[in-house]
Amino acid sequence: MNNETTSHPAAGMTGCLSHLRVLDLSRIFAGPWAGQFFGDLGADVIKVEIPGKGDDVRQSGPPFMKDAQGRDSRESAQYMSVNRGKRSITVDLSKPEGQAIILRLAAQCDVLIENYKVGTLARYNLAYEDVAKVNPRLVYCSITGFGQSGPYSHRPGYDMVFQAMSGLMSVTGEPDSSPGGGPQRAGYSSSDMSAGMYAICAILAALNHRDAVSGKGQYIDLALLDSQVALLSHVAANYFMTGAVPKRLGNVSANASPWGSFPCMDQSVVVAVGNDTQFLHLCQTMGRPELATDPRFITTPDRVRRRDELTAELNEIFKTRNALDWVEALDAAGVPCGPIYNIEQMLQDPQIQHRGVELHQDHPLGSQVRTIANPIKFSQTPVTANLPPPMQGQHTNEVLADLLHMDDAQLEALRAAKVI
């Protein structure tokens, strides 16, 4: 950080990134997801929202958090999921005074994350080239749908568009010949989350390069479409190897068998056999050891080629017992397996509870926020979620007074001019 000096609000914390400050100009999911990660690890994350409107995803609902009187607030579940660990300020970037505030804040930050349409921040004099003049050590990450260049760079887009165009939907769902067959999207915002994770990796790499090699920050151009395509690398590898376009296979694997869901007496169970030894143990546990030496099924390639025949054999056996009975027996035999949970069942599982994946935080509205915790477990610098997802503009006065040394009169003048 440079220029205006200030104390870090996280001073004394032990988080891995408590020495960093992040200016988060992003909205919706991908950028905020990355910003939340930095907050989880101790960084001071300042979220910049539009006065009077806030982050677009605040309006994405229902459901919305209830206030103390049981009424819907403006705090959506979607917003809550990606914005803890941040301080929220409201600044109108379209006004020169707002742009000046952002530049002064950026001068004291290590990272800037934004996901405006290509060219928008350049019109506001807040492009990388503008900000780097006041802080050449800044790592500036732009997250867009299609990237900063190319014939589609101007296009808007949401997660489903990128799931479709990346090829993900072409390999997700049941085959066309099966009931309910056809392309399906993943049941969560896969493109947003993957882009957010790539952003985290890229930013950390750029910070390391700045601190260990160059002394300077740099610009990161990250696209949701590129990120989702990258996650399909192992699927594309099959195409590169054979020239055959991968097809939808439902729950089975193109490269291993038996691998998928099997109907039991009460519900289905998932089994994922990755090698011949596991297949032997599966057959022994199911009371059919001869299947492991059947010439049709001896090796993994054999079982993939005869998948339908093997599945038919196994389906009849699985139907003789309840799913959890099979899970207990197969787990004892060292065969990878598991029940198919809904979200409520998942949260009640003893392993899930032991790992502490659910986070509870007190919220200014008087309620508690429940979110999924950061999964990383450090031995020396534990992840500590100190701030719940902020209300819109909750910390505007605090941040501008703390970092920019603005007094009450200056803040009131900016508020009267609708800059903040």
Q: Do 214 and 283 have their domain in common?
A: no
Interior CA angle at 319 toward 316 and 321, to 5°? 130
CATH of the domain at 361: 3.40.50.10540
Bridge partner residues of 89 (DSSP): 48
For 213-252, the pLDDT digits (tens) are 999 999 999 999 999 999 999 999 999 999 999 999 999 9
* pLDDT over 80 (residue 5): no
Phi, psi of 379 (to 5 degrees): -80, -30
Residues 6+ apart with CB under 8 A from 222: 141, 142, 143, 144, 147, 195, 198, 199, 202
Q: Do 85 and 203 have their domain in common?
A: yes
In the chain, the number of structural domains is 2
Residue 13 within a domain = no
Q: Do 275 and 212 have their domain in common?
A: no
Q: Do 29 and 159 have their domain in common?
A: yes
Q: Do 200 and 114 have their domain in common?
A: yes
Active site residue 192: yes
Query: Buried (b) or exposed (e) across 369-395, using 16+ Cβ within 10 A?
Result: bebeebeeeeeeeebebebbbbbbbbb
What would the two tokens of residue 1 be? Answer: 């950080």
Q: How far is CA 315 from CA 2, 219, 334, 335, 340, in A?
A: 65, 53, 20, 16, 16
Helix pair 408-416, 396-404: axis angle to 10 deg: 130
* pLDDT over 50 (residue 191): yes
* pLDDT over 80 (residue 4): no
Residues 6+ apart with CB under 8 A from 330: 271, 281, 282, 285, 337
* Residue given tokens 């399906």 in the structure block: 184
CA-closest candidate to residue 131, choices 196, 48, 194, 13: 48
State which amino acid sits at residue 250. G
- What radius of gyration, in Å, describes the C-alpha atoms of the chain? 25
**pLDDT score at 180:** 85
What would the two tokens of residue 359 be? Answer: 């986070």
Q: Which of 30-39, 164-173, 222-231, 363-372 has the lowest mean pLDDT?
A: 363-372
Find the catalytic residue in 192, 349, 407, 408: 192
For 219, other C-beta atoms within 10 Å of its C-beta total: 17
Distance CA 66, CA 77 (A): 10
Q: Average pLDDT, whole number, for the chain?
A: 94
Q: Do 288 and 407 have their domain in common?
A: no
* pLDDT over 90 (residue 384): no
Bridge partner residues of 372 (DSSP): 358
For 329-338, the pLDDT digits (tens) are 999 999 999 9
**pLDDT score at 13:** 53
DSSP character string of 184-253: ---SS-HHHHHHHHHHHHHHHHHHHHIIIIIS---EEEEEHHHHHHHTTHHHHHHHHHH-PPP---TTS-
Q: What is the mean pLDDT of residues 314-325?
A: 96
Distance CA 327, CA 271 (A): 9
Q: Do 116 and 77 have their domain in common?
A: yes
Q: Do 123 and 27 have their domain in common?
A: yes
Q: Do 197 and 332 have their domain in common?
A: no
Residue 79 within a domain = yes
Q: Do 206 and 142 have their domain in common?
A: yes
Q: Do 183 and 320 have their domain in common?
A: no
Q: Do 186 and 213 have their domain in common?
A: yes
Q: How far is CA 49 from CA 15, 29, 53, 318, in A?
A: 26, 14, 8, 53
For 146-181, the pLDDT digits (tens) are 999 999 999 999 999 999 999 999 999 999 888 889
Phi, psi of 324 (to 5 degrees): -70, -30
Q: Could you tell me the residue range of the domain that residue 224 belongs to?
A: 21-230+357-416
CATH of the domain at 294: 3.30.1540.10
Tell me which of 310, 339, 368 is where a domain ends.
339
DSSP character string of 392-410: TTTTHHHHHHHHH---HHH
